[in-house]
Chain A
């Protein structure tokens, strides 16, 4: 990968050891020739392997003897990359654009050094750190092809740029206060704040104001995390009712004041990608979901109640640009840092739009004159058993290629799903999954998708010959795929949504299957025209069979049943009690006025599509136990059900699988169904007998974990398979994931979970690409 500081590192190492030779790179990778005493060469090799620069990934070192040249110096061979003409062989271009990288320690020292020329400079970077993907307009990766093109290097920066021994040798975005971007603080009315933009920003934040801050991939909205009035104002203006905000803490020590931080979480928090990491909160402030945020005096260092109401977890990230570092250092307290948008709009990234689109939200705009070329949201991860479980893969990760086991005979474009959209371009043994694009039904987002495809095709020199898409006829990504072949020559490959989920988990783990794939999510279009989402598949990359699933139930009102989880409770309870639903249940009393109509819709199939979704089962139980009748963000009911569950409870309800063609079986290949109705009845009876809802919520999770394990047991008997892949958005739920994995491992299954792409629909494009590639390989059956 270019721009990771490997050649300067080799130069420095060789020079320190007094070795002669050269370092360069070609299409095979980096090559080094060293000439000198045997012990020195050994030391050189040892140091090379032991302590490479943080961003360099050494896959393999191969060594061999070379003829003695008698030279005395060590040089960096000129890189051919900047002069590469278009249309060169693939290998020369494929890895040229790196993800954005958090500010490195050396640059932080520069920023903190009062004697240095970059003291307090918000745009300091070097070959080890700084903006990359978000500023690249075209390849080759050269300053002229980035949004730094408009900044002419001053003599000092040019000297660093051309000095092989310098940390900034060929650092394309290199700059300094004399020649680089400048901060400005703009006011909504159109004026500009005089005085130091940073100092003024700090003053505004301290006064409880909402500030828009231009980051790497877009504008954020910031407010003091401890200031309930400011955070509540931010929520109201952004029209974001409940969805938790992320918090930026000044450093690891500050993060530890708010949350527990494990070793794995620390590595992610402080690593070069700097994602938002979901951490367990130390305070219990959020635990009762129904508690209305009150203006209780905020005891530092806790965060205000409105930051993440009802949540045991807090999304925390550490500063990743010098600007963030300077801001946080001056404030000395954490800030809420959330996407600069209103409601579900995509994050604002163009300067021309920021006043218009965020004028009603922000009191001032801390911005600068380095344009953002590609909108890229912050990434979000959780840690599961010491490894990353991505929730959103975006800044810091995209467009780093993922290995595609087996390879793609012809280049593939996988068009992804609809919500949490990503797309994926695959060629040879690499898959380039895009940054998080967002929800496609939004026009700005659709544009990001279509323009993003064009951008990736150019960056990675891929012209797709196979177009993979979901089977949902109304996904805009499906329509995009169908439109593609009207204009260009390519083969279409439709990939069932849950097969794509399972395949994404296989590709994520570098395996090909076959496995028992458990895909639990909200909804995906099924082969039989119903909406699937609680699926047991027997699958490899090329194909699958639907081997078991949740029994289907009606969704009265279609999309309205997703927005209003109580409708799912009504549908399930009506079936569970055969119409005679106990009137003492809270969910019945709260929704009495509409209960009759909605159950009638369910019974008669009036706008009530049938679904086997596990997410909708979560919704039903969440409404049943009273956490939520209506949601304001996707997956909210399930998130809150996880939050209230009493973690000490480890028993479960009985929910035996129904073998063979059960009364609800909708598919011929399925050998069992899971009677979700029995589970809901058990939960309702438990609740009516006075069991606290925290216990019911835990028993529900435990029961689903048993369902997963029992389903896999059943399929191991019929197929002999003992590897299980867990995928789908429901497996973002750590409680369910942990209990399911524990049970499966107790029963000696090998369990695959997600580590590189999210289990949710953000991973679907990788799965589609893996399936399309597998079907394109002549050796593979199917």
Chain B
């Protein structure tokens, strides 16, 4: 197709402002983290050590929610961004912006939760910063974490590496974090047994990368959900990603809440789920490796990569139709006339 209507022209704020201002080869792929060759550190065998480096800011309301809080979210998020680069996360920094009057008790809870998450992920929080702003200038507490990790293996991962014939997997049921947050705001009286999926994925990813060398791409499906990640892969790799609607794991309570709220679980954020693209012949191996880890027990093969139509994500519906799963430009607005 001359024009795929893939919306390539719809630039994000990041591309329009920051990529333009900071442009360099390490930033350009816009992956979850940057992988840096560090000549000063030489790995055993004389090869250049490869370092992964990432940062993320966390604003979430409410700060405490079923299954987690802003603290473990901030640690797990940065750990996961390193892990999906194929790195072993090592050290984190933590920056806090606190609103004047934020209860110290709450701050202690956040810190304790960060410590627990760091211990679980096997990383150390080695530096930090705290600023207090006037009442009303912030919403309680914001956390920024940065992290570094080492790439032990020669694995090359990236959103541009998907090839026709590859399989697409998710490491577990989707949408739990986003739905939990919506419900935790307490505005709606929805009965649903849902907790956030926030978790450190480095152990799971290590198990996966040990099991197969055929992984092409790993992404944690945070903002914009699985749909947005798959679109990034389809565009960067110039391939089609075809997803089977029936194969996408969604817990019944999440599905029920999504139906009530009128949202599509494919677009809902996860904080402990990784999307995996792996060579087709290694799909079962990868699935077994994921399912062998407690955090990947609900993993599933959800689709495959095809050559045509390039840059589009298609959902094969129960009736055998193919619906286009597009990136949404803004808040989801109905398109029906």
Q: Which residues of A contact B (CB under 8 A)?
A: 239, 342-345, 357, 417-420, 440-444, 446-447, 449-451, 454, 472-477, 479-480, 482-487, 497, 521-525, 531, 555-562, 594, 596-598, 600-601, 604, 606-607, 609, 615, 634, 729, 760-761
Residue contact A480 to B5, C-beta cutoff 8 Å: yes
Q: Is B262 an interface residue (CB 8 A)?
A: yes
Q: Which residues of B contact A (CB under 8 A)?
A: 1-10, 182, 187-190, 259-263, 309, 312, 314, 317, 319-324, 326, 328-337
Residue contact A443 to B322, C-beta cutoff 8 Å: yes
In the complex, which residue of chain A has the Cβ closest to the Cβ of B263? A607
Which listed residue, A483, A607, A760, touches B3 by the CB 8 Å rule? Answer: A483
Q: How far is the CB of B259 from chain A (nearest CB, A)?
A: 7
In the complex, which residue of chain A has the Cβ closest to the Cβ of B242? A443
Residue contact B10 to A442, C-beta cutoff 8 Å: no
Which listed residue, A343, A419, A480, A557, touches B337 by the CB 8 Å rule? Answer: A419
Residue contact B319 to A600, C-beta cutoff 8 Å: no
Find chain A residues with CB under 8 A from B190 CB: 597
Which listed residue, B9, B10, B321, B334, touches A485 by the CB 8 Å rule? Answer: B9
Residue contact A483 to B328, C-beta cutoff 8 Å: no
Which of B262, B319, B323 has the most chain A CB atoms inside 10 A of its CB? B262
Query: How far is it, in angstroms, between the C-alpha of A440 and the C-alpha of B8 when the chains are bound?
Result: 17
Which of B187, B328, B334 has the most chain A CB atoms inside 10 A of its CB? B334
Residue contact B5 to A443, C-beta cutoff 8 Å: no
Residue contact A523 to B337, C-beta cutoff 8 Å: yes
Residue contact B189 to A597, C-beta cutoff 8 Å: yes
Which listed residue, B6, B331, B334, touches A559 by the CB 8 Å rule? Answer: B334
Counting from the closest, the 7 A-B pairs by CB-CB distance are A557-B262, A560-B262, A482-B9, A479-B7, A473-B329, A480-B5, A559-B334
Query: How far is it, in angstroms, between the C-alpha of A555 and the C-alpha of B320 when the chains are bound?
Result: 30
A420 and B333 contact, Cβ closer than 8 Å, known pairs A559-B262, A606-B187: no
Find chain A residues with CB under 8 A from B336 CB: 418-419, 522-523, 559, 562, 634
Residue contact A531 to B334, C-beta cutoff 8 Å: yes
Contacts A442-B324, A474-B335, A556-B262 supplied; 20 other A-B pairs, CB < 8 Å: A419-B336, A443-B309, A449-B5, A474-B330, A476-B5, A477-B5, A479-B9, A482-B7, A483-B5, A483-B8, A486-B9, A555-B334, A557-B260, A558-B263, A559-B334, A561-B334, A597-B188, A600-B188, A606-B182, A615-B337
A418 and B337 contact, Cβ closer than 8 Å, known pairs A447-B1, A483-B5, A604-B187: yes
Query: How far is it, in angstroms, between the C-alpha of A239 and the C-alpha of B3 when the chains are bound?
Result: 32
Q: How far is the CB of A351 from chain B (nearest CB, A)?
A: 18
Find chain A residues with CB under 8 A from B319 CB: 239, 342-343, 345
Q: List 11 A-B contacts (CB under 8 A).
A: A345-B319, A441-B323, A441-B335, A444-B322, A450-B5, A474-B329, A474-B330, A531-B333, A558-B263, A561-B334, A562-B334
Find chain A residues with CB under 8 A from B6 CB: 479, 483
Residue contact B335 to A475, C-beta cutoff 8 Å: yes
Find chain B residues with CB under 8 A from A419 CB: 335-337
In the complex, which residue of chain A has the Cβ closest to the Cβ of B314? A443
Find chain A residues with CB under 8 A from B259 CB: 560
Which listed residue, A239, A483, A523, A606, touches B188 by the CB 8 Å rule? Answer: A606
Find chain A residues with CB under 8 A from B10 CB: 473, 479, 482
Find chain A residues with CB under 8 A from B260 CB: 557, 594, 597-598
In the complex, which residue of chain B has the Cβ closest to the Cβ of A530? B333
Which listed residue, A442, A450, A472, A487, touches B322 by the CB 8 Å rule? Answer: A442
Which listed residue, B9, B262, B330, touches A561 by the CB 8 Å rule? Answer: B262
In the complex, which residue of chain B has the Cβ closest to the Cβ of A634? B336
Find chain B residues with CB under 8 A from A440 CB: 5, 324
Which listed residue, B8, B263, B312, touches A486 by the CB 8 Å rule? Answer: B8
Which listed residue, A442, A497, A523, A598, touches B334 by the CB 8 Å rule? Answer: A523
In the complex, which residue of chain A has the Cβ closest to the Cβ of B316? A443
Query: How far is it, in angstroms, between the C-alpha of A420 and the C-alpha of B335 when the chains are bound?
Result: 12
Residue contact B9 to A474, C-beta cutoff 8 Å: no
Which listed residue, A454, A521, A524, touches B2 by the CB 8 Å rule? Answer: A454
Residue contact B334 to A609, C-beta cutoff 8 Å: yes
Find chain A residues with CB under 8 A from B3 CB: 450, 480, 483-484, 487
Find chain B residues with CB under 8 A from A450 CB: 1-5
Query: How far is it, in angstroms, between the C-alpha of A136 and the C-alpha of B243 when the chains are bound?
Result: 35
Which listed residue, B189, B323, B329, touches A443 by the CB 8 Å rule? Answer: B323
